[in-house]
Amino acid sequence: MNIFIDNKSGEPIYSQICTQLKNQILSGALREDEALPSIRNLAKDLRISVITTKRAYEELEREGFLYTIPAKGSFVAPKNVELLREENLKKIEAHLGEVARLAAACGLDRAELIEMFETLTEESL
């Protein structure tokens, strides 16, 4: 399992961990019920604070990506179709927001934008 922390990016470290673990879970790199490293071991191996890894795991558990068994550790939650869709919808929204911003910056209006999208999706189908 690879996790890369960028101290200089400005993105909170716990958030970077969450994103990377989520991606690996969704892509299948981490399988269902696979054991995740303990909060403490993850922190020590990544050379970051234990408080941060704990926060990342808590968030992932809250969002349904992992589950914890007391005294045993944390494990990848079974893939939830809803969850997958939810994540992908979030990503699409984020990308669309970026598209809208860029379009505004170069003066592209909505009609032109939709035309562009239709051309693109026609090609890929």
Q: How far is the CB of 40 from another protein (least distance, A)?
A: 6
| Stretch of 39-47, 60-68, 81-89, 117-125 contacting another protein, by CB under 8 A | 39-47
Residues 6+ apart with CB under 8 A from 52: 13, 14, 17, 43
* DSSP string computed for 31-73: -TTPBPPPHHHHHHHHT--HHHHHHHHHHHHHTTSEEEETTTE
19 scored as a contact of another protein (CB under 8 A): no
Residue of the chain from 47, 62, 101, 110 that contacts another protein (CB under 8 A): 47
Q: What residue ranges bind another protein (CB under 8 A)? A: 7-10, 12-14, 40-41, 44, 47-52
